[in-house]
Chains A and B, each alone.
Chain A
Amino acid sequence: MGVQDYVDRTVDMLAYQGGAVMGGEVLLTPTLASADNSGQITTGIQKLAQRFLLELLTEKGSMVYQEQRGCSFMEDARLGLLHTALDVLASFSASLVDIQTNLVAEETLDDPGDERFDSAEIINISFSGDSASIRVRVRSAAGISRDVIAPLNITI
């Protein structure tokens, strides 16, 4: 997609910053601004990936008045239930039901295809010390996918 494809799109703040690499792999850092960066905006598939991460990293029930938001993934991590790659996969799969429900509920058919959620999958899990690196592929309704590496420090 070219720049002209993003004209008249609605934008969001970029909360998980990293290099904008189309179809590539990005290590995300949770920050709105930094010493050399006064903040960025985002749209398209990157906005969708960010929304996905927000849902994945929100504990279900933690948002007062919107208790249905989020999923159980971070709760599992906080409770130390994720010991193996299989545990992570199982928790992710269970959480994906809630994530998909919440993301789709926010969308309309008028939204651009690359901002509408289609599916997600874990494509790699690696453990290092007491942290896990999880690479997730988020696919939009337009068929465009984006790989993100979730910045997770979890007890394993």
Chain B
Amino acid sequence: MGIEVLDLSELDTNSVLQQIEFMAELLQEDNPSIDTKRGVLHDLLIRYSGILAAANQENIDRIRRSSSLQAISEDPTLADDDIVDLVLSNYGLTRQEGTEATGTVTIVVDTLAPVVLPAGLTFDASGKTFHTEIAYTAQTTNDSVLSEADRVLTQLSDGNYSFTVDVVADAVGLSGEITKGTLMIPTAGITNYVTSYATSDFGGAVDTETNEQFLLRLQTGIAAEAASNRVNMYAMLRAQPGFENYVSASIIGFGDPEMLRDRHSIFPVSYGGRADWYVRTSERVKLVGTTLAATLIEKTGDGKGNWQISIGRDDYPGFYDVVSITPTDATNFVGTYDINQDIRSADVTSTLGELTPDIAVAKEAVYSRFQSAVIQFKDHDTDTSALTVNTSTKNYSVTFRMLLGIEDIQTIVGSRGHRNYAGDILVKAPIPCFVSMAFTIEGPPGATTPDPSVIADDIAGYVNNLGFTGRLSASAISDIIHNRIGSLTCSAVDMYGQILRPDGTIKSLRSSEVLIVPDEPENMISARTVVFFSDPEDIQISAAAVAIPEI
């Protein structure tokens, strides 16, 4: 917010009335013959003097709040960014500026012919705009590729051709991130164009640091960076390159009911020395796509078969789940092959220079870098009559949902220099509760409704920054909605959450009031281990005209 009051209607009513009364008393004392309680002088002179005095007082208060570290800490939202920057510069800290999301667009054309894309070509995707920074040329052969700006057209299984170009979001911050497969529509014509979509999740975007985040960094910056208590451990994490902006973290240790790893002895008591560190490294989960070879494990009666993919612990460390398995190069394939089994296990093979945490059963390793997995699925397209079980293989496009960086943090805390000499630390991605929601914006016929993607971004930003709260209230979502829709109204918010338990089962939550994380310490499920994830694509916003009679 700006430091200056720019709108006289944004002042506190009580403050204004007090200032008006104060002005009237001052004027009355100075000139007892003037009627300062009411009338023209009061309404035209004293009243506006009081409003302006209240505005000045508000300006003074804001400067005072912004200049005091204590006041800033008590309420960071009221402080002016520029002055907070100045105050915290005394501690050698500078605010981290936001960056734009970047990613790759796959463009499909129907003819094998060169295609030229100019620099600055824009694409629209889910209400967001992206642009190319350089001119690209799609070439028909590898021999024609002379620079980074030349791309090769690749033939697809459906007879079309595709090439990729890099784009950058126009807007700074996470609102510019889109997920793999999102349709991206060019705003200018492309020769032989068929379609275009996001090749993979867009990334690299960072929101400009808020005052709250800036102050949190100050607090952890002052703390010793060591694996001792929680504040020190957070400071240690924030001091690591690449993790300065981790979103939230929670540490489960001795005495916490969710801690299972310190009860491995034959006695049913906790003996300490173990810590489970749940780190949310980014606001949104990443969709990471790759091509993996699957092995045919069973032929089915319909001539098709069940296939299996093995995922090692270092392949996609700490991944949450596999969201899709599709044929490679199939642009018209919709959905995913049915996943029959997702079997997790623990791989505690020692790593040179790292302390391997004490992990006894698979569910303790789930969402950590020590998990491995076997995924089995049914391919209802491939004819297996000529294939051999346990021998034949085929490549598939597989998309994982995961947080990045879990294995890097494990490496840091497992190193001799960082780890606590009295125990081990197991770093995990937080247990996810993936949230979708739906609501209707209502207004009179002809009313202008705001851009739904902006509302969805706001809501997702709120949900993804909640941290380990254990509760997601519909009233808070309604508040965000009302900030955008003005005098329009919104229906109840239908919220649906799915917690992916470490044991592989799913716990569903549904409410139009509040989603509450259940207390299941035997499954390591509690408000201290579960976080909410929201993707703007999973927020369904509809608009409805309501009949309001004329009176």
Please report A residues at the B interface, Cβ cutoff 8 Å: 8-15, 32, 43, 47, 50-51, 54, 63-66, 106-107
Q: Give B311 Cβ to nearest chain A Cβ, in Å.
A: 63
User: Is A13 touching B37 in the complex (CB atoms < 8 A)?
Assistant: no
Question: Known contacts being A10-B34, A11-B33, A11-B34, is A64 close to B8, with CB within 8 Å?
Answer: yes
Residues of B within 8 A of A47 (CB): 35, 39
Interface centre among B32, B36, B43, B44, by most A CB within 10 Å? B43
**A106 contacts B37, C-beta separation under 8 Å:** yes
Report Cα–Cα, A32/B47, bound state, in Å: 17
Max chain A Cβ within 10 angstroms of own Cβ: one of B9, B35, B43, B47: B35
A-B contacts, 13 of them at CB < 8 A, read A10-B33, A11-B33, A12-B39, A13-B39, A15-B40, A43-B35, A51-B38, A54-B40, A64-B9, A65-B16, A65-B17, A66-B17, A106-B37
List the A residue with the shortest CB-CB distance to B9.
Answer: A64
**Residue among A9, A43, A54, A107 facing the most chain B CB atoms (10 A cut-off):** A54
Q: Mark B16-57, 1 if CB is under 8 A from A, else 0.
A: 110000000000000011111111110110010001000000
Residues of chain A within 8 A of B35, CB atoms compared = 10-12, 43, 47
Q: How many A-B residue pairs have CB under 8 A?
A: 48
B11 adjacent to A65 (CB under 8 Å): yes
Q: Is the CB of A50 within 8 A of B40?
A: yes
Cα A15 to Cα B42 in complex, Å, equals 12
Interface presence of B13 (CB below 8 A): yes
Name the A residues within 8 Å of B34 (CB-CB).
10-12
> Is the pair A54, B11 in contact by a Cβ cutoff of 8 Å?
no
Given known contacts A47-B35, A65-B17, A65-B51, is B9 in contact with A13 (CB within 8 Å)?
Answer: no
B contact face: mostly helix, strand, loop, or mixed? helix
- CB nearest to A13 among chain B residues: B40
Q: Which of B17, B39, B41 has the most CB of A within 10 A?
A: B39
Chain B residues in the interface with A (C-beta under 8 A):
8-9, 11, 13, 16-17, 32-41, 43-44, 47, 51
**B residues near A63, Cβ cutoff 8 Å:** 43, 47
Residues from chain A with Cβ under 8 Å of B8 in the complex:
64
Taking the nearest CB of chain A, how far is it from the CB of B12, in angstroms? 9
Q: Which residues of A contact B47 (CB under 8 A)?
A: 63, 66
Contacting pair A50 B39 (CB below 8 A): yes
Q: What is the chain B residue whose CB lies nearest that of A9?
A: B33
Find the residue from A9, A12, A14, A47 having the highest chain B CB count within 10 A.
Answer: A12
Cβ-closest 7 pairs across A and B: A10-B35, A12-B39, A106-B38, A15-B40, A65-B16, A13-B40, A12-B35
Instruction: Provide the bound-state CA to CA distance between A63 and B50, in Å.
Output: 13
Q: Which of B9, B16, B41 neighbours the largest number of chain A CB atoms within 10 Å of its CB? A: B41
Q: A64-B9, A65-B11, A65-B17 are in contact. Are A54 and B33 (CB under 8 A)?
A: no
Given A10-B34, A11-B34, check contact A54 B39 (CB 8 Å). Answer: yes
Which residue of the partner chain A has the closest CB to B11?
A65
Told that A64-B8, A65-B13 touch, could you supply 11 new A-B pairs with CB distance under 8 A?
A8-B33, A11-B33, A11-B34, A12-B39, A14-B40, A47-B35, A50-B40, A54-B39, A65-B11, A65-B16, A65-B51
CB pair A12–B51 under 8 Å, yes or no, is no
Enumerate chain A residues within 8 angstroms of B16, measured Cβ to Cβ: 65
Which residue of B is nearest A107, CB measured?
B38
Report the separation of the CA atoms of residues A51 and B35 in the bound assembly, to the nearest whole angstrom.
Answer: 12
| A65: chain B residues within 8 A (beta carbon) | 11, 13, 16-17, 51
A124–B44 Cα distance when bound, in Å, is 30
Nearest CB in chain A to that of B50: its residue: A65
Least CB distance, A50 to chain B, in whole angstroms: 7
Q: In whole angstroms, what is the CA distance A8 to B34 when docked?
A: 10
A51 and chain B: residue at smallest CB distance: B39
How distant is the Cα of A124 from the Cα of B139 in the complex, in angstroms? Answer: 89
Query: Nearest Cβ distance between residue A154 and chain B, in whole angstroms?
Result: 21
Cα A8 to Cα B47 in complex, Å, equals 24
Pick from A15, A47, A65 the residue with the most CB of B within 10 Å: A65
* Chain B residues in 8 Å Cβ range of A9: 33
Across-interface contacts of A107 in B (CB, < 8 A): 38
Closest Cβ of chain B: how far from A13's Cβ, in Å?
A: 4
Q: Within the complex, what minimum Cβ distance (angstroms) separates A128 from chain B?
A: 28
A8 cross-chain contacts in B, Cβ below 8 A:
33
Chain B, Cβ-Cβ closest to A32: B40
Find chain A residues with CB under 8 A from B43 CB. Answer: 54, 63
Minimal beta-carbon separation of A142 from chain B (angstroms): 17
Interchain nearest-CB distance for B525 vs A (Å)? 50
CB-CB < 8 A to A14: which residues of B? Answer: 40
Which chain B residues lie closer than 8 Å to A13 at the CB level? 39-41, 44
**A12–B41 CB distance below 8 A:** yes
In angstroms, Cα B34 to Cα A9, docked, is: 8
| Residues of chain B within 8 A of A43, CB atoms compared | 35
Complex-state Cα separation, A50 to B35, whole angstroms: 13
